Each structure stands twice: as structure tokens, then as C-alpha cells.
Amino acid sequence: MNERRMLDDSHYENLIEEESVCINENLVYDKPETLTKTPMHYCPGCGHGVAHRLIAEVIDELGIQEKTIGVAPVGCAVFAYNYFNVDMSEAAHGRASAVATGIKRVLPDRYVFSYQGDGDLAAIGTGETIHTCNRGENILIIFINNGIYGMTGGQMAPTTLEGMKTTTTPFGRDVQAMGYPLKITELIAQLPGVYYCSRVAVNTPVHVRKAKKAIYNGFKFQELNKGVSFVEIVTNCPSNWKMTPVESNKWLEEHMLPFYPLGDLKLPGKEN
């Protein structure tokens, strides 16, 4: 009996758990303060959530929460104002960059960004987008390109890839009938009013890190008053692409990125 107990004791001694590493001192990644606690309404695995978090992280890092004003679009991100702990305004479909223009002109010391989908920015809001960029407004435009109208149930967007199936192109996008996918970022990068223009993605940890840098630049360049910063984020839409989130991120890598290559399209100080 005695012998057995001794055996057990030493056995338990070996099992004594190491001290937990989950203490504040070791914390290396946490949700940024600029995101509210409200759970996001986005579908599981949707890139909108990652894009939101990166913007919030940059605002935290720059310490500009009190001085930032965002403009939410119409599209899946229509409730973006519920998720950011900064002043936000909602714009009519496609008009976010025009609303942002007004805000920035009245309050030039604020950091102003618009957050817009591809249907919003590159279809109904093409006019506003191009003229905001051409006027060289000192704002940051975040462009979420998921190649589809997500919110309304997966119709073709200007950015939909050739041959891609959507509810309005059930046999795939036929460029003869529906035109070519629009690379609006390449178009606006040509405009002298655009100071910084970059295309990033959020489908892998490496891409997420680079995306954050681009958003950081976008906010930082506003201090120079040199014109528009434009950051396109290529994202997924698992629900309307009819894939699992993991499949959609793979599909994005294999199909979206060859057509929408990542990188800086316009970088201050570099000839393009």
C-alpha cells in the first residue's frame, strides 16, 4: 500500500504542469481597441473581417482613433460603422468617396477613409471614384475587390473574372456580351491626383502582413496632403463563390491574383 502510494506521488510530480504562457506579459496578438465588441455579421471566413481588423490595428498603432472618420458603403460592409470605434458616416451606394471628400474638406486635420466594395466603387460609384482621385482629395480609399456583388446575392460585378459563374452569368462571364473585367486600380493609378496606390490580399498570413503595411502607408500619407491613397484588397466571398472559406482563399490565389497581381502600382519617390 505504502509502496504504491509513493509510486503515485512521483508519478504526479512528473505531471505537474508547466506554468501557463497565457499571461499578459506574453501577449503578442490581440483584437485591436478600435474594433468594437460587436460580433460581425459577415459570413464565416469572409475577408471583410480581416480588412476591418487591419484598419483598426493601424488606427491603434498610429494613435489616431480620436481623429479618424470612416465612411461605410452600401454592400456587405454597410454595417461597418458598428464595428469601428471611430466616427463613421454611411454613404449612398457608390458615393462614399464623395462623402469622404466633403468630410475631409470641412475637417482637414482628420484622417478620413472610405471603405467600399467593387460593386460600390467600380460600378455605381465609378464617376465619384474617378473624380475624387482626379481631384487629388487627401483621403484613403479602401477598395474591397471580391469580384462579385456579395450583399445582393452574388450578381456579376465589373471585376468578375472572365468565365466566372455568378447568378447573372450562370454560364460564366462572356466578355463578348458582358465586357471585360475592370482593373479600376490600374486606371486610377494613372491619375496625377493619386499619390499612393497599392494592391494587397488577405488570404494568407504573409499577405495579411503586407496588407497592413499598405493600409499604414495610406493613413500616414494623408499627413502630407499630396492626394489620394488607394488600397485595393483582393478578398473572397465564400458564400457567393459557393466554396468553403479555405477553398475560396485557394481559388483567390489561383484565379484572382494572376489577373489582379499584388504590389504597389504607385509608390511616392519611385518612377512608375
Ligand X SMILES: Cc1ncc(C[n+]2csc(CCOP(=O)(O)OP(=O)(O)O)c2C)c(N)n1
DSSP character for 243? S
* Residue 201 binds ligand X, judged by CB under 6 A: no
Binding segment toward ligand X, per CB under 6 A, in 20-28, 81-89, 117-125, 169-177: 117-125
Q: How many residues does the chain have?
A: 272
The grid coordinates of residue 1 equal 500500500
Give first-to-last CA distance, the chain, whole Å.
Answer: 83
Residues 6+ positions from 149 with CB-CB distance below 8 Å: 75, 117, 119, 155, 156, 157, 240
Q: Which of residues 133-192 bind Mg ion (CB under 5 A)?
A: 146, 150
Residues 248, 256: contact at Cβ < 8 Å?
no
Answer positive or negative: Cα dihedral of 199, 203, 206, 211: positive
Figure out which of the listed residues 35, 47, 114, 118 binds ligand X, where binding follows CB under 6 A: 118
DSSP character for 45? T
User: CB-wise, 189 or 233, nearer to Mg ion?
Assistant: 233
Q: How far is the CB of 147 from ligand SF4 (least distance, A)?
A: 10
Figure out which of the listed residues 152, 167, 190, 204 binds another protein, where binding follows CB under 8 A: 204
Figure out which of the listed residues 51, 54, 76, 191 binds ligand X, where binding follows CB under 6 A: 76
* Residue 117 binds Mg ion, judged by CB under 5 A: yes
Widest CA span in the chain: 88
Residues 78, 72: contact at Cβ < 8 Å?
yes
User: CB-wise, 46 or 96, nearer to ligand SF4?
Assistant: 46
* Residue 123 binds ligand SF4, judged by CB under 6 A: no
**Residue 120 binds what, of ligand SF4, Mg ion, ligand X, none (CB under 5 to 8 Å, by partner type)?**
ligand X
Figure out which of the listed residues 98, 123, 124, 202 binds another protein, where binding follows CB under 8 A: 202
Dist CA 11 CA 225 (whole Å): 68
* Residue 147 binds ligand SF4, judged by CB under 6 A: no
Figure out which of the listed residues 32, 55, 74, 118 binds Mg ion, where binding follows CB under 5 A: 118
- Cα distances (angstroms) measured from residue 72 to each of 122, 128, 162, 257: 15, 15, 29, 26
Residues 158, 116: contact at Cβ < 8 Å?
no
* Residue 189 binds ligand X, judged by CB under 6 A: no
Q: Which residues bind Mg ion (CB under 5 A)?
A: 117-118, 146, 150
Q: Which residues bind ligand SF4 (CB under 6 A)?
A: 42-43, 46, 48, 76, 146, 150-151, 237-240
